[in-house]
Amino acid sequence: MSVVQVHKLGIEGAFEFTPAVYKDDRGLFSSPFQSAAFAEATGRPLFPVKDISHNLSAAGVLRGIHYTATPPGRAKYVYCPHGRVRDFLIDLRTGSPTFGKWETTELSGDDCRALYVPVGVGHAFLSLEDASMIVYVMSEGYVPENERAVSPLDPELGLPLPGGPPPAQSERDLSAPTLAEARERGLLPSYDACLEVEAQLWP
């Protein structure tokens, strides 16, 4: 029977799942998502899946902080089957008891650790190796006009990014507002709206 270590993160509603990894001279086998462990930790099954996507990133690429306007909002289950990344979750839900708080976790193809990202929680990662892959299992499909970003370089957030050459970022991420700017412009979701959307994910 597979064993999953579950850790409730410091951001309200977010969880980390570390499954058993079985290695031999052929490679490895693991199950990054196991329904029984998820339901036991969260009190409900995973949301009905509407979209599964992935990306590949070279070392030094920084993606995020990304989130979805709420409503409609999107919950995510993410893991790294290949490579290694420094992952960040940031609570962007105004009114949340953990608003503005971030958590960082290393995800890799060696430990197959996964994260549950609630509606309204931002996600970012820094790729630590070439060809690092992140898989996203999501509660809603991608709608470009609903997607939002906050700058991961916001000094008030203070994400622990390494010094040296600046990370490689998309134009969208380079021009993203700070957390304070996004809040002032009314771009951040409310905690109550996120909880309401999340409660409606299960038919």
Q: Place 2 in a pLDDT band, splitting at 50, 70 and 90.
A: low
Exposure letters 54-63 (e unless 16+ CB within 10 A, then b): eeebebbbbb
Give the rounded distance of the alpha carbon of 190 from its chain centre: 18
Phi and psi at residue 39, to the nearest 5°: -65, -40
Give the rounded distance of the alpha carbon of 91 from its chain centre: 10
Q: What is the chain's mean pLDDT, rounded?
A: 96
* Residues belonging to the active site: 66, 136
Q: Place 3 in a pLDDT band, splitting at 50, 70 and 90.
A: confident
Mean pLDDT over 177-189 rounds to: 98
**pTM score > 0.85 for this model?**
yes
Q: Which residues pair with 126 in a beta bridge?
A: 62, 86
